Every structure is written in structure tokens, then in C-alpha cells.
Amino acid sequence: MSATTLMRKQEREQAIEQLQKLLKPGDKVYTVLRHVSASGMSRRIDLYTIKDNRPIYLTGYAAKALGLRRSPKKEGVTVGGCGMDMGFHLVYELSGVLFRDGFKVNGVGRNGDTSGHDNDGGYALKHEWL
């Protein structure tokens, strides 16, 4: 493994650790659309959460955790594709990385599940556009 690859792996692990300290199942991640390419095939999206009535910028950590590219202007992560809610997609993927073993559910979970555990960590975080 090259030094660069090892460094990227360590940065990814550190970003995941920081995000796991900041985000718990049920927390909401807000997305802000910063730019859409002329072709409509890519977007730049920023991610935030709110703690103690203050916004917390998550984009840098999220980009490293997901292996995504940030724009040169540091405005958002670049996400390719169209035809679906790309903000939801980003939050779902991030949530899946942070809660890969699933998460505890109080009461009835998705699809009426009463087991108390959701195996799909992608649904641990909530999403909303700003």
C-alpha cells in the first residue's frame, strides 16, 4: 500500500470517527444545492447539521468519509447523476457508512418492523433541503 493510499485511508477513518461523534440515529442532515452543471448531470451539495441552535458544516468530513471530490472552491461535494433526489442520496450513503451495522429503533420501524433494530444504516439519519 502506497503512502498516499494509507494517508487517504487514515483520513477517511478519522472523518468517520468525527462524524460518528457529531451524528446519532435520528439526527437531521440538511443539504444545500450550490451548483448544477450545464448538462444537469452533476451537482455540488453542502451538508450541515444543527447542534445547540448552531449550524455545523459537515461537507469536508462527508467528502472524505464517502470518497467524494470537493469542488476547487470548497463549495459542496460533487455528485454525479440525475433523476433522483441527490441530497437524499448523499445523506443515505453517509448514514450507511456511519451506521453500517444498523441502528436501534424505538417503537415501530420502517415497514411496520417491531424488532427494535433496523439493519439498513442508510435510514439512521434524516434529510432535509435548505
Cell of 86: 441527490
Find the helix or strand (DSSP H, E) in which 38 lies.
Answer: none
Q: Find the angle CA(72)-CA(74)-CA(80) to the nearest 5 degrees.
A: 75
Q: Given this model, what pLDDT does residue 2 score?
A: 83
Do the beta carbons of residue 78 and residue 86 sit within 8 Å? no
Helix (H, G, I), strand (E, B) or coil at 86: helix
Q: What is the mean pLDDT of residues 109-115?
A: 87
Amino acid symbol at 126:
K
Has residue 47 got a pLDDT over 80?
Answer: yes
Q: What predicted TM-score, i.e. pTM, was given to this entire model?
A: 0.92
- Grid coordinates standing for 23? 451524528
Name residue 57's beta-bridge partners: 48
Span 52-83, pLDDT tens digits: 999 999 999 999 999 998 877 768 999 998 88
